[in-house]
Structure 1
């Protein structure tokens, strides 16, 4: 959903947590709302970060936008500890090209209660873009 009549002249982009329950589902949602009418689809965390720079989706480079993440608590649970552990375990099983030592450390941190879940990582990626305001609903 795109709302270009936002009172602060920011383009409003809405992520609906009710539309997905997995990382792959999040990528599909992000592709649908951020990459509308393009052939490119989000498929990795790095790819998600890349599209937030703008210029080849629904907003331009450095354009001021706001992302409203509806049902974010559902997403926090869906992309929480268990799914993140599986995400790292799958990368370790796959081996190359992944940095197994780094991923094992991230998994260890997660298991010790001090690591980031996939939800936390997605939030950090969004917040690293200074032209984007994130609102969790």
Structure 2
């Protein structure tokens, strides 16, 4: 179990520290999982570690992250999951990829923002 007291009231995600989703997971693991023996490695895992957390998150260099985790990275993310097949729901991922290409689906950056904003005890500041 994660000790919720370890979390600061102010957390800084630095977009200058990473340029892809794996780097983002590494950054998040350093910030929220210092004393744990596992690291964040999925969107669901990122969402899970935010439950019960109360903090202000400032995302520095967020414009860089928005570009790095934009359309191209998201397209590649979905294509990799489709190639892998099981355990992924390929039909669902193909639909998400189609929505992205059609301009209606969120990018990885937007998905990460949605995850953070879904937690009411977290205030997000894009810097």
TM range (shorter): over 0.9
**1:17 aligned residue (4, 15, 18):** 15
**What is the alpha-carbon distance in structure 1 between the residues aligned to residue 11 and residue 32 of structure 2?**
8
* 2:7 and 2:55 in contact (8 A); partners too: no
Equivalent position of 1:86 in the other structure: 76
Measure, in 1, the Cα distance between the counterparts of 2:28 and 2:84.
Answer: 25
Q: Paired residue for 1:71?
A: 61
Which structure 2 residues correspond to residues 1-137 of structure 1 after superposition, within 5 A? 4=8, 11-53=9-51, 61=52, 63-137=53-127
Name structure 2 gaps, 5 residues minimum: 1-5
Aligned-pair CA distance for 1:38: 1.4
**What is the CA distance between 1:37 and its match in structure 2?**
1.8
TM-score by length of 1: 0.86
Q: Please tell me the root mean square deviation across aligned C-alpha atoms, in Å.
A: 1.4
Kindly tell me: are residues 3 and 99 of structure 1, through their superposed partners in 2, closer, same or farther at Cα, counting changes over 3 Å?
A: closer
2-structure distance, mates of 1:88, 1:3: 32
| Separation (CA, whole Å) in 2 of partners of 1:135 and 1:119 | 14
Larger RCO (alpha carbons 8 Å, 6+ apart): 2
- TM-score scaled by length of structure 2: 0.92
Shift in Å at residue 36 of structure 1? 1.2
Higher helix share: 2
- For structure 1, the residue ranges without an aligned partner over 5 or more in a row are 5-10, 54-60
